[in-house]
Chains A and B, each alone.
Chain A
């Protein structure tokens, strides 16, 4: 795997970056191009090890894939964003994800812990559908960026009902790069020809 990785990052796969973006233009060929990557290579440009597969969904792949392309092609609505890194504002405020929430926590516990940073506009504390206990995460909406940021800074890693919680933004303006994918090379838009050797 190490060797394949080295070769893959030597040229800048800018085309792959385009494929990572949404199939916004609705063209079926781009949808077809994106979906197989997810199934066979799952980003990473072919660096992934072969997977152990299981399940009936692997039969009849061509037909299933055609159906999927038809369903998932076309424009998907999103909120406008400049696409850069960093948190993204939701329709009326900023959403923060809390994880590690104790299974017996109640909405009031989150209200009390987070309410000091600003008025909580929305709070979702979903239950485990089987046990009825809290599933383990909560989503909290603050109206202002600063309120949410302060809640994150001060509450992340603290304890709630004897359990450590983590607090972070929920939504991002753009995709995140996985560790073994290189950023754009400082060489810019070079062609794939090898370096000249003197």
Chain B
């Protein structure tokens, strides 16, 4: 039930951000932006040398009003942020994890594409497809 999905590069600029268009997208942009602070906080807190799946998944970053923000960071410090609408039945943690995993996989696929320059906005149709799937499924 993602309402907004964003991929943020290491330098904290967005590589990809997409929201359910019905809502005010700017609001989500802002939310994602503020969530970056929380991400940084969590990332620095973790600090272990081991980077296992659990640490990649940051969990609920913070809940607000009627939505929750989840975060995920990769080993290369690329961050995925999912904003979920709280009005929907809250998703299980596993589901969120699986969403992140899918995102990560598609992101890796995008990276593997030699025609993609890291740092460019992501324009891959496949990636878009996956994201749409995730957003649509949340209805």
Asked if A and B bind, the verdict is: no
